[in-house]
Structure 1
Amino acid sequence: MSDVAALAARLAAHPHVTGKRDIDLACAALGLTQDSPGRPGDDAAAIPDGDGWQLMATEGFMNDFVASAPWFAGWCAVMVNMSDILAMGGRPTAVTNALWAPDAATAAEILRGMKEASAAYGIPIVGGHTNLRTAQPQLAAAIWGRARALITSFDAKPGDVLIASADLRGAYAGESSNFPAFLNAPHARLRGDMEILPLLAEDGLVTAGKDISQGGIAGTAVMLAECSGVGIAIDPAQITPPDGDLTRWMTAFPSFGFLLTATPDNAAAVLRRFRDRDIGAGIIGTVTSCSAVTLTEGGMQHTIWDHGKQPYLGLAPQKEPADA
């Protein structure tokens, strides 16, 4: 087995990639499809509102993570939700939280992280739910935003290029897959970076996109491919992992990272928007007309996931019924 074939197999079985399968269960139980209100499968629900869209998203966090890194979890409650709004081409307007903790001291450290992130990104915390009588800390948060023009998960087309962008001015947090680039970053720089995605949407420079979530580049590419009903061929030779470990980077969760598709004619302009702000960006693949996300190796294709054979989110485009 070649190194690239082995990489594809590792990514297909990686828990950060397979963990996204839980979404399929919830969508099936609720009877949701990508044609349901708010279009499930996107990073945020988009509700038409006048000349734009109201955006809504929510994130919950693993109890072990909240217990072991309460300040970081609090910061992520704002940051991760913010990324969902940015990925839609929107600007965040407000955050609420739902917090459970066994005592005030535990809650205080979580809330400190949220407060500091709120100040850094300029996103107010406007309320929430608090309970200090539980056995373990738990945290979830919701966000609202607004977009003038949308970036969706549904509009990638064969022939588009796949662009990966990530702020590399950071490092992995210990042995985890989290790659924070916000630590010690000037608040003005963070807020300026938040304008990249909305302006790309408003200038019509991208066709589709998602933020790079806990599934990493690999899992996010599969979600994007299924939602758009396309395939994606990724060239691993075009990806430079910050520590040399390609498996780790392709399943990592960067604090500011996005997968975007664009026409070849617009690709250079998209790359320039990120690079002008010292954020890494490059073309790492192409959108295809099949249903598989693959790694390319010369003329060979090694499959990570084929959503046509095995649903991933369960949110593929609905097929038109065949004529009788």
Structure 2
Amino acid sequence: MTALDALAAELARAPGLAAKADIAAVTRRLGLTGAGGAAVPVGDDCAAIPDGDGHLLFAIEGFMNRFVAADPWFAGWCGVMVNLSDIAAMGGRPIAVVDALWSPGDGTAAEILDGLRAAARCYGVPVVGGHSNLSTPQPQLAVAVLGRAERLLTSADARPGDRLVMAVDLRGAWRPPFDNWQAALGAPADRLRGDLALLPAIAEAGLARAAKDISQAGVVGTAAMLAECSGVGITIDVTAIPAPPDTDPARWLKAFPSFGYLLAVAPDHEAAVIRRFTDRDIAAATIGHIHAGSVVSITDGRSTAAVCDPGAFPLLGCAPHGMPAVTRPVRTLMGEAVP
């Protein structure tokens, strides 16, 4: 097995990718469908609800109990930050935040709420209500955000021939114990708000077809979700990925960055999109290409190794209109079924 094959196998087994396979079971049980199959299709970073000349965006995130227990203040902060990233990924701007909080007493609750409040103030988005229960065995947190987009970036509009552009803020550091790359804490509020505003500006200028926030599934797992929703294949050049210096490639490819996006961009707009990010000191580069098929692969320029095939074994269960609805469990191309 080559080093590239070993990396592909490690990425295929990554817990962040495996967790996304749970989504297909949920969408199937609810009878939800992807692009072309419903008035409000699912599978994107937010629900996009038609509203006049634009769309209301509705995003929600629930957090791992062990994360909330281990780092309650940061979990509260992330409740706002990750939802705003999802709103931005679809070309939107946030309107308001609500939260649902469970905690064994008011001590842990206070830490969570302090983090949430700090992020809301920093990003300039009001918290307008929610739900609380301070008599539960363990802390739990879910946060939802409402936003609006004038022109959507979706997960369903990537096309063969598009370039895959990655933008990521490298001005940060790892925040243990999880593989979170934190580049927001300590950054000026006006910079954070301006950085998020890049995505709706790109959408409104017509510079990108599709985008997706890099999630806990990491770069390749996020690309797999984009590939599934658009009905395309993606090949990623691991040597082109912007990364912090001296970082283990496998760890970085599985990491959740506080500001990180994948965009499907027509070749004519590739340079302009990259320049929008680099002008604000955000690392950006073309890291791959989008093509016919459904396999997501990695390459080092010499050889190629497949990671997964979400078209045959879906993560989300949100195949685009005209594609068969597949209900088999996701399976990596390493021959292992994801539980």
Normalised-by-shorter TM-score class: over 0.9
Aligned to 2:29: 29
2:166 counterpart of 1:164: yes
Give, in whole Å, the separation in 2 of the partners of 1:184 and 1:209.
26
For 1:65, the aligned partner's letter is F
In structure 2, C-alpha distance between the alignment counterparts of 1:175 and 1:5, rounded to whole Å: 27
Whether 2:45 is the aligned partner of 1:52: answer no
Could you tell me which of 189, 192, 201 is aligned with 1:190? Answer: 192
- 1:73-115 Cα shifts (integer Å, max 9, x gaps): 0000000110110000000000000001111111101000000
State the alpha-carbon separation in 2 of the partners of residues 312 and 320 from structure 1: 15
Cα separation, 1, equivalents of 2:114 and 2:16: 28
Distance 1:153 1:264 in 2: 18
The residue number in structure 2 matching 1:257 is 260
Alignment match, 1:239: 241
1:278 aligns with 2:281: yes
Query: 5 Å matches for 1:148-159?
Result: 148-159=150-161
TM-score by length of 1: 0.97
Equivalence for 1:79: 81
Q: CA deviation at 1:175?
A: 4.0
Secondary structure (helix, strand or coil) at the match of 1:318 reads coil
CA deviation after TM superposition for structure 1 residue 299, in Å = 5.5
**Which of the numbers 133, 138, 141 marks the counterpart of 1:139?**
141
**Correspondence for 1:292:** 295
Q: Secondary structure at the match of 1:156?
A: coil
1:43–1:84 contact (8 Å) kept in structure 2: yes
Deviation at 1:38, TM superposition (A): 2.3
Go from structure 1 to structure 2 and tell me whether the alpha carbon gap of 1:320 and 1:295 turns closer, same or farther (over 3 Å shift): closer
Q: Is the 8 A contact 2:242 2:283 kept in 1?
A: no
In structure 2, what is the equivalent of residue 14 of structure 1? 14
Partner Cα distance (2:301, 2:279) in 1: 32
Quote how far apart the aligned CAs of 1:319 are: 2.6
Q: Within 1, Cα distance between the matches of 2:40 and 2:200?
A: 19
CA contact (8 A) 1:90 1:145 kept: yes
2:317 to 308, 311, 314: 314
Corresponding residue number in structure 2 for 1:305? 308
| Corresponding letter in the other structure for 1:313 | L
Q: Distance in 2 between matches of 1:190 and 1:80?
A: 13
Structure 2 letter corresponding to 1:20? K
1:170-185 equivalences in 2 (<5 Å) = 170-185=172-187
What stretches of structure 2 of length at least 5 have no aligned partner? 325-339
Shift of 1:46: 0.6
Code of the residue aligned with 1:231 in structure 2: it is: G
Q: 1:156-194: per-residue Cα shift (whole Å, max 9, x none)?
A: 010100011111110110242111101110111111112
Overall identity of the aligned pairs, in %: 57
What is the rounded CA distance, in whole Å, between the counterparts of 1:110 and 1:308 in structure 2? Answer: 39
Is the Cα contact below 8 Å between 2:232 and 2:290 reproduced in 1?
yes
Secondary structure of the structure 2 residue equivalent to 1:135: strand
Deviations for 1:19-70, whole angstroms, at most 9, x for unmatched residues?
1001011001101111234211110011111111111010000111111100
Give distance in 1, aligned partners of 2:274 and 2:114: 35
Q: Equivalent residue for 1:267? A: 270
Checking the alignment, whether the CA contact within 8 Å between 1:240 and 1:246 is kept in structure 2 is: no
Task: Please give the secondary structure, in 2, of the residue aligned with 1:43.
Answer: coil
- CA deviations 1:272-306 (Å, max 9, x no partner) are 01001111100000001011000124453211111
* Partner Cα distance (2:91, 2:323) in 1: 29
Output aligned runs, 1:114-129, within 5 Å. Answer: 114-129=116-131
- Cα 1:317–1:288 change in 2 (3 A) is same
- Partner of 1:88 in structure 2? 90
Deviation at 1:6?
Answer: 1.0
One-letter code of the match for 1:80? V
Deviation at 1:16, TM superposition (A): 1.0
Report the 3-state secondary structure (helix = DSSP H, G, I; strand = E; otherwise coil) of the residue aligned with 2:12.
helix
Q: Following TM superposition, where does structure 1 have runs of at least 4 consecutive aligned residues deviating by more than 2 angstroms?
A: 35-38, 297-301, 318-321
**Residue ranges of structure 1 left out of the alignment (5+ in a row):** none
Describe the shift of the 1:191–1:298 C-alpha distance in structure 2 as closer, same or farther (beyond 3 A). Answer: closer
Whether the 8 Å contact between 2:94 and 2:145 is mirrored in structure 1 is: yes
